[in-house]
Amino acid sequence: HFREDLYYRLDVGSLCIPPLRERPGDVELLARAFVRRDARSLNPRVTALGERALAQLLACDWPGNVRQLENVIRRSLLLHGEGGALLDEVAFADDGAEAVGGEAALSMNSAAVGGLREALAQQERNLIEDALRQARGNLSRAAARLRIPRTTLLGRMRRLGLPASLDPPA
């Protein structure tokens, strides 16, 4: 239970902020600000948000509000890979597997059929293989792309039965 005296001490004023879905003008401002802020560390090649991506963002209801928008931008920057300076497509959580591995996103049914562990291992394998392809077989760059230490990447590759060096694409 919350202490009543503490509640009244903190209850100086209330802010009523409407949900993001009721503030479409804020979606564009926030998205552009997140791209500027996060591109520096997640994907320095990206310098701006493209019109196509903006249209995708404006079409969303944003049940998770600003945090969901921020996560979509960060995910999109990570998955943008070697693309150009414009972030021209966004990756929502339910289509992240398709953007990364070219396969359908994991669903509850696929996890139930093969088991959660197998589904997660397959998803992890897809992410690692894609990062290695984008990094042209360079383990350090692939680890940086996945935001994990190189030694962790090697351990996960060993656990998943992936070779320690994948041939770069021809």
Per-residue pLDDT of 72-110, as tens digits, reads 999 888 888 777 788 888 888 754 333 333 343 444 444
CA dist., res. 62 & res. 35, Å (int):
17
Per-residue pLDDT of 4-36, as tens digits, reads 888 888 888 888 889 998 998 999 999 999 999
- Confidence check: pLDDT of 170 > 70: no
Strand partners, 48: 86
| Domains of the chain in sequence order | 15-91 (1.10.8.60), 93-170 (1.10.10)
According to the model, what pLDDT value does residue 26 have? 95
According to the model, what pLDDT value does residue 103 have? 40
CB 158 within 8 A of CB 124: no
Which of 27-31, 42-46, 52-56, 161-165 holds the top average pLDDT? 27-31
* Residue 50: pLDDT band with limits 50, 70, 90: very high
Range 48-51, long-range pairs (CB < 8 A, 24+ positions):
48/85, 48/86, 48/87, 49/86, 49/87, 50/86, 50/87, 50/88, 50/89, 51/88
Per-residue pLDDT of 117-165, as tens digits, reads 777 788 888 889 888 888 888 999 888 888 888 998 999 999 889 987 6
- Confidence check: pLDDT of 70 > 60: yes
* E strand or H helix at 21: none
